[in-house]
């Protein structure tokens, strides 16, 4: 019984995870809007600049090693978002990007199993299979929406996200908002340097000059909504639950991503998208409710 209880998330933790997924899912539309004016690496650099400044002056540096903070900042800032933003500029649509990046679930669970000895329960495998079936439905109807380079870049972003998950878990139960804010500074110099090297000063200056109020609002949403709230909450959940319990929640990101695209960009919602959403939600229901069902059966 105790093994099952350890895999269950309290309702408040589940609600927090669901809110993070809604923020992250809708963010793909926001990213696309910001990329209309800003080069991708510059956008990433600005995102993490404003995630650090000025709030770092009001938050004490967490009691973790600089190596841990730097590793997380580089993996999430340069690895995940640098690659993701490059891909989304021309090589993959927002909806498909929100789908492909979810392979981080499998990378995270695999890395955690190897490093900590966590094991995946049978019901979690069933939940993942249902969710993967939903992702498969989306993938088979996504022809012409991405290039091979775009897919590779997003898979690289997913692997960086998974490595970042493992690093943040190793930090333990620290103040995760402080952790994410202070880790962000380690992403800023390499991102600005990479932007200068590969995008060039003229493109950087032009992007800033042409950015309108909507662009800057999108940049701030990247910093406050996604980085400060999203990754702080995500890291907090990962520090309190097994990776195999928390990370499958990220399979909801493409559901929110498709919904946001439909509402904000007028994207159609044919039957195959609705079927995919049902499969993903079914997987989450199995993953979240089965431990409680098993616990009730134990007392009968």
pLDDT score for 3: 42
- Compute φ and ψ for 59, nearest 5 degrees: -125, 130
What is the rounded average pLDDT of the residues 239-264? 81
Least confident span in 10-24, 185-199, 226-240: 226-240
Q: pLDDT at position 7, please?
A: 57
Which helix (H) or strand (E) element contains residue 259?
A: helix 253-265
**92 three-state secondary structure:** strand
**pLDDT at res. 295:** 67
* Confidence tier at 298 by pLDDT (50, 70, 90): low
| φ/ψ bin of 93: left (φ > 0), alpha (ψ from -120 to 50), beta (otherwise) | beta
Model confidence at 35: pLDDT above 80: yes
Judge if pTM exceeds 0.85: no
Q: Any idea what DSSP says for residue 60?
A: P
Mean pLDDT, the chain, whole residue set? 85
Share of the chain above pLDDT 70, in %: 92
Maximum separation of any 2 CA atoms in the chain, in Å: 70
The predicted model gives 223-237 an average pLDDT of: 86
What does R_g of the chain's alpha carbons equal in angstroms?
19
Name the pLDDT band for 219 (thresholds 50, 70, 90).
very high
């Amino acid at each position: 019984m105790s093994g099952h209880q350890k895999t269950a998330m309290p309702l408040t933790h589940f609600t927090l995870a669901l809110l993070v997924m809604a923020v992250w899912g809708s963010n793909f539309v926001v990213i696309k809007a910001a990329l209309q004016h800003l080069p991708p690496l510059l956008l990433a650099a600005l995102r993490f600049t404003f995630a650090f400044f000025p709030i770092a002056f009001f938050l004490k540096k967490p009691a973790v090693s600089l190596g841990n903070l730097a590793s997380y900042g580089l993996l999430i800032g340069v690895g995940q978002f640098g690659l993701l933003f490059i891909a989304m500029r021309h090589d993959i649509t927002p909806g498909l990007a929100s789908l492909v990046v979810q392979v981080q679930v499998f990378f995270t669970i695999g890395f955690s199993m190897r490093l900590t000895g966590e094991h995946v329960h049978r019901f979690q495998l069933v939940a993942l299979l249902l969710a993967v079936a939903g992702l498969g439905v989306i993938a088979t109807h996504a022809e012409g929406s991405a290039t091979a380079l775009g897919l590779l870049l997003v898979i690289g972003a997913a692997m960086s996200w998974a490595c970042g998950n493992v690093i943040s878990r190793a930090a333990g139960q620290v103040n995760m908002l402080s952790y994410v804010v202070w880790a962000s500074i380690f992403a800023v110099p390499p991102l600005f340097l990479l932007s200068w090297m590969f995008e060039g000063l003229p493109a950087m200056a032009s992007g800033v000059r042409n950015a309108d109020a909507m662009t800057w609002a999108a940049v701030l949403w990247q910093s406050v909504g996604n980085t400060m709230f999203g990754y702080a909450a995500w890291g907090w959940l990962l520090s309190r639950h097994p990776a195999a319990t928390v990370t499958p929640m990220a399979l909801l990101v493409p559901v929110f991503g498709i919904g946001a695209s439909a509402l904000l960009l007028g994207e159609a919602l044919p039957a195959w998208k609705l079927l995919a959403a049902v499969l993903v939600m079914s997987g989450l229901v199995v993953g979240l409710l089965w431990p409680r069902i098993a616990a009730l059966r134990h007392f009968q």
